Chains A and B, each alone.
Chain A
Amino acid sequence: MLDFPILSLLTFLPLLGAAFILTIRGEPEMVARNAKYVALYTSLFVLALAGYMLKNFDGSSGDFQFVEKVTWFPSLGISYHMGIDGISVFFVALSAFLTPICILASWDSIKKRVKEYMVAFMVLETFMIGTFCALDTVLFYIFFEAVLIPMFLIIGIWGGPRRVYAAFKFFLYTLLGSVLMLAALLALYFHAGSTDIPTLIASPVARNLQFWLFIAFFASFAVKMPMWPVHTWLPDAHVEAPTAGSVILAGVLLKMGGYGFLRFSIPMLPEAAEYFAPMIYWMSIAAIIITSLIALVQEDMKKLIAYSSVAHMGFVTLGIFTLTAQGVQGGLFQMISHGVISGALFLCVGVVYDRLHTREISRYGGIVKNMPIYATVFMLFMLGSVGLPGTSGFVGEFLVLLGAYRVDPVVAFFAATGVVLGAAYMLMLYRRVVFGPAVHQDAGEMQDLNWKELVNFVPLVALVLWLGILPGVVLDKTAASVNKLISQYEAGLVVTTPVDEPPRDAVQEPVE
């Protein structure tokens, strides 16, 4: 345990950085430059702090650590309660890791309103880290929803031509989800008389209520994931977002759904989780197969990767709801790995987009000749996305499928077809962009990565390989919390269900 409030520091330091950036005055160029440097140094400091947190995190315990608790609204029992366990720790680290990369990626490509852009990113980092640290539902909800605001701004101001449509779509989807989640959180509060997440986890909810609450949470998290068929906002949002926006969107924002399932749906509503699990399996399989097939026919690089994200998130939901140690660990690992790999893939798209200003696959081709380093880096992330053993992508997919196979071999069988389809669409993308004869002269003459871009890719490359070869760095720290989650879930089933009553009867009252 540390003697200073590390989580609050992690959360609010970027906000401080943002405030500092706002005070910068002077020549526009000077302001832009200083804003970039402040943002970069702040985020690097946060990253270092996150590393320190990771080092001090005790992986052998499944309890919340670095806990801070201050009463906020005493009359309501609402408190400022922060803490992390093995489930959230790597999301905090991931947010801290991707933010400086995003700032570096925007260094030269963002030309207008640089100051505001950096402020938006700093605020975004605060909200992201806050979401994963909050242990009070009110606090959580504020962070969870507030994340959307800087994201809206990033897409809406610095985005592509159809940014209003994309943001509107995103808005409609998430609005529905967040309203329902708010209702669920209120219901939980009235039921248990507390907004404290550990207290809520410990207090069982009546079976009937569980189902309604589950559906409400599900609406919100499924949109965030996104699960098929509520995924259609994602390709549009990705396409219109600037590169760094896509990186954060795919890297961290999508993980909030999965995190929500693990933090709320499963430990608080175990019976409903058990009841709805088969439905979620088939929705996940639909996501994996259908969006993979859709990815196969895309002509837009970003859209293709966006659809592949939906497929990969299908593995996550599948793994989480197998409720086996392998499945949940795999789902968690897949989220972290996907955060790195898909973020990196969007960066790869960003590199060629900056040079040619088009995302159309057929405008590229034969670029390996002039850009060998880029081709190598892109290849590695492409293979990670395909799930080649030795990259981080494999470990997550493998564990998820293993967990699923234990629960239902048929489910795993269909989900595993994603392995074949994933290879097909990623290899086709790579082949059309990188290989082949250079049909378009401008594409063939693009310059290879400059040192700034290369520096940005190096940590991502290292992480993909490191996690692929020695995944223990993550799995060892998540194991205790995942085991605790599963035992909570199993205990939850026992508390409210009499042993001999078949579980399905409770919700559908037999009509006689």
Chain B
Amino acid sequence: MELVAVFAPLVGFLIAFLFGKQIGPRGAQFVTCTGMILAAVMSCALFYSVILQNDPRVLHLATWIAAGDFEVQWALRIDQLTVIMMCVINIVSACVHVYSVGYMSHDPARARFMAYLSLFTFAMLMLVTANNMVQLFFGWEGVGLASYLLIGFWSHKPSANAAAVKAFVVNRVGDFGLLMAIFTTFVVFGTVQFDAIFTMAPDKTVDTFNFFGFEIHALTLICLMLFVGAVGKSAQLGLHTWLPDAMEGPTPVSALIHAATMVTAGVFLITRFSPLFEYAPFAREIVCIVGAMTALVAATIGLTQFDIKRVIAYSTMSQLGYMFFALGVSAYSAAMFHLMTHAFFKALLFLGAGSVIHAMSNEQDMRRMGGIWKYIPTTYVLMWVGSLALAGVPFFAGFYSKDLILEAAFASGSWFGQMAFWMGIAAALMTAFYSWRLILLTFHGKPRASAETMAHVHESPNVMLIPLAVLAAGAIMAGSMFYGAFANSATSPGHTQDIKHVGDMVSIWDKDYFFGDSIKVLPENDSVVAAHHVPKWVKLLPILAGALGIGFAFVVYMFREGMADKIVRAFKPLHTLFYNKWYFDELYNFLFVKPCFVIGKLFWKGDKNVIDGLGPDGVSKLSRGIAGRLGVFQTGYMFHYAFVMMIGLIGLVSWFIYRTMGS
């Protein structure tokens, strides 16, 4: 069961990739979709046996790297946290696979596309099932590779290639942090196996580690390095610049990788390492601050963009910010909750946007859309559902998870938690605003596209709409259904620890907490439980913010034409800053990219002029004077030189033998 859930996508990838030509695009689509659906069904079965029957397990496969006292295994760690991730990944991925059959139907390389999607899914599954840090790194880099391949899928587009390379290289900066975390963990703990690390963590709280001459609290150092990795993968402020550019990839890719799964790997990583983060309060503080700032900054950029996919991309970044500040206040299960609901409604939004783009003959600029809701009503309704969930309107999925995060931040009682709460409220207002800005600009008003495009506007085929419907069901129900499980915690009554016997079932209908030991929260840090006791206004404020944002969007984009321009003019400097994405790209180009090339050229010249000048070329110049007189010997034939050398060698050896024989 575990093996099928993890390796079915790999098999699909191998068949579609290696024999894509033989089995044709139809065959490739069939193989990969079947593999994915099988994997999705199996993960639901695992949900039953691991979570409901409370039976986490580890499956050992083979030894990977063993050198000295260092050893890592290929293994599948199937615990509650893993299974949640597996369900999300496999279900969303299966939807995206099926959707792609329709979306990519005109692409000549669609077999390869399906293969890459399956490869990505496999890598992501390896990431979440890892039982040690190195296998996690394997999956981590594997998803990076798949993301690189898929962003640059339309390889004839220079912008797509640039975005792909950028994504990979920026992610590598994050991977650098993760690599350092692995090394530090090994030096501190003597192992990189999860179980061993987590058991030992409480004994290592006083250890320090010497890094660049500073004695640093070892666990804090490890956690901060892990966080650098998470920042890269999850596009948090600082290493986020690749995510908007990644929208160059086909839309199903954006939905699967850059919204639902890969970008949430950072959230998973920190949740997985909750037994360490619990003992590293300073690291959590940093996580919380960076998360809150990301949520806010991304939302401000999202307000001003016109590319429909980029708006959703910035919204993804902003939502990831929410998850991170939840992690920062120890509300791990709340972050996981939002991860899950977000996967559904954001994948829905992206695929919906894809459906719009498909209908508009590949137009992505919202300034050239408008007035199409009558022509594509199903897509329109589904986009509404996604936006309602995103804006946190009551009883949609996002409402439960986002509110839980905000309440937990407020309830944590720390200054950074309070700060995150207020920044989160502000971001929620903006989220609601830009979501309806998107809907109104895209679907309402007068058509701004060319007559030719408008004539072609058509609803997508069922093969695209059915996956959307599945995701929409998730976006509506996932919140209310799982609220109890995620909103309780290990320290609150009625959780899995009370279930002692195999066969006893965890009942999600009774709102039982089901994470078991896979998430660790110290009782004094438990903000999720504290979140149930916040004042009434804290619970109401996010709803109010959402409603305000929606209303404001209607005023600006529906009822008062021209008001948007007036606002832009009034806040010109601010708008310029937001519209240009706070100038991060320009800054990084100036600080890192350009200097690298300049220094590279400099050193290259150094090789030529300094090293060679003093070395071989200098010597040769010097000797040319002498050689000029002995020009007879300079024949230019290599074998002459070699011959001379051989003679020299024989001479030396004979001298050596002669010397020693004589002595």
Contacts and interface: CB of A to CB of B under 8 A. Distances in A.
B183 interface: yes
A409 B184 CA distance: 8
Interface in A444-486: 469-472, 475-476, 479, 483
B137 to A, nearest CB: 6
Contacts of A434: 155
A449 to B, nearest CB: 14
A427 B68 contact: no
A423 interface: yes
B642 A152 contact: yes
Interface string B639-663: 1011001100100110011001100
A293 interface: yes
A390 interface: yes
B661 A296 contact: no
A475 B65 contact: yes
B612 A232 contact: yes
Interface stretch (B44-52, B165-173, B365-373, B449-457): B165-173
A383 interface: yes
A76 B657 contact: yes
Interface string B105-143: 000000000000000000000000000001001100110
B508 to A, nearest CB: 36
A157 B639 contact: yes
Contacts of B657: 73, 76
A152 B141 CA distance: 41
A164 B641 CA distance: 10
A254 B253 CA distance: 42
Contact of A420 (B156, B173, B211, B637): B173
Interface string B38-72: 00000000000000000000000011111111100
B619 interface: yes
Contact of A172 (B173, B596, B597, B619): B619
B607 A294 contact: yes
Interface in B168-215: 168-169, 172-173, 175-176, 179-180, 182-184, 186-187, 209-212
Contacts of B175: 419
Contacts of A298: 604
B184 A470 contact: no
Nearest to A152: B642
A399 B67 contact: yes
A391 to B, nearest CB: 10
Interface string A395-431: 1001101100110011011001101110110011001
B601 A297 contact: yes
Contacts of A163: 638
A436 B169 contact: no
A75 B661 contact: yes
A389 interface: yes
A378 interface: no
B615 interface: yes
Interface string A319-347: 00000111001100000000000000000
B152 interface: yes
Nearest to B20: A372
Given A168-B620, A296-B597, A409 B183 contact: yes
A398 B653 CA distance: 42
Interface string A186-200: 100100000000000
Contacts of A471: 64-65
Nearest to B109: A372
A423 B169 contact: yes
Contact of A76 (B603, B645, B661): B661
A311 interface: no
B616 A173 contact: yes
A412 B183 contact: yes
B145 interface: yes
Contacts of A45: none
A235 B209 CA distance: 41
B183 A402 contact: yes
A368 B161 CA distance: 13
B600 A153 contact: no
B637 A156 contact: yes
B636 interface: yes
A424 B145 contact: no
B616 A232 contact: yes
B158 interface: yes
Given A152-B642, A436-B156, A472-B63, A401 B183 contact: yes
Contacts of A389: 134, 137-138, 141-142
Interface string A171-192: 1110100000010001001000
A282 B186 CA distance: 23
Contacts of A295: 600
A395 B65 contact: yes
Contact of B600 (A168, A296, A423): A296
Task: Indicate the member of A399, A431, A469 with the most B CB atoms within 10 Å.
Answer: A431
Interface stretch (A60-68, A124-132, A141-149, A202-210): A141-149
Contacts of B661: 75-76
B502 interface: no
Given A329-B67, A428-B165, A416 B636 contact: no
A24 B264 CA distance: 67
Nearest to A406: B187
Interface string B281-310: 000000000000000000000000000000
Contacts of A423: 168-169, 172
Given A164-B638, A409-B210, A437-B158, A182 B179 contact: no
A186 B182 CA distance: 46
A462 to B, nearest CB: 13
Contacts of A416: 176, 179-180
A427 B597 contact: no
Contacts of B209: 409
A51 interface: no
Contacts of B596: 293, 296, 421, 424
A353 B297 CA distance: 49
B603 A290 contact: yes
Contacts of B172: 419-420, 423-424
B540 interface: no
B444 to A, nearest CB: 38
A409 B161 contact: no
Task: Indicate the member of B68, B597, B617, B660 with the most A CB atoms within 10 Å.
Answer: B68
B161 A431 contact: yes
B599 interface: yes
A412 B183 CA distance: 9
A410 B176 CA distance: 13
Given A152-B639, A436-B155, 16 more contacts: A76-B661, A148-B642, A167-B638, A167-B641, A324-B68, A325-B70, A369-B156, A388-B145, A398-B134, A399-B70, A406-B183, A409-B183, A419-B175, A427-B165, A427-B169, A483-B68
25 contacts: A76-B660, A142-B653, A157-B638, A157-B639, A164-B638, A173-B615, A186-B656, A293-B596, A293-B603, A294-B600, A297-B604, A389-B134, A398-B134, A399-B70, A402-B182, A410-B211, A410-B212, A423-B169, A427-B169, A431-B161, A435-B152, A436-B155, A471-B64, A472-B63, A472-B66
Interface of A: 73, 75-76, 138, 141-142, 145-146, 148-149, 152-153, 155-157, 163-164, 167-169, 171-173, 175, 182, 186, 189, 229-233, 235, 290-291, 293-298, 324-326, 329-330, 366, 368-369, 383, 388-390, 394-395, 398-399, 401-402, 405-406, 409-410, 412-413, 416-417, 419-421, 423-424, 427-428, 431, 434-438, 469-472, 475-476, 479, 483
In the complex, the 8 A-B pairs of residues with the closest C-beta atoms, listed nearest first: A156-B638, A325-B68, A293-B600, A405-B183, A389-B138, A435-B155, A297-B600, A329-B67
Interface of B: 62-70, 134, 137-138, 141-142, 145, 148, 152, 155-156, 158, 161-162, 164-165, 168-169, 172-173, 175-176, 179-180, 182-184, 186-187, 209-212, 596-597, 599-601, 603-604, 607-608, 611-612, 615-617, 619-620, 636-639, 641-642, 645-646, 649, 652-653, 656-657, 660-661
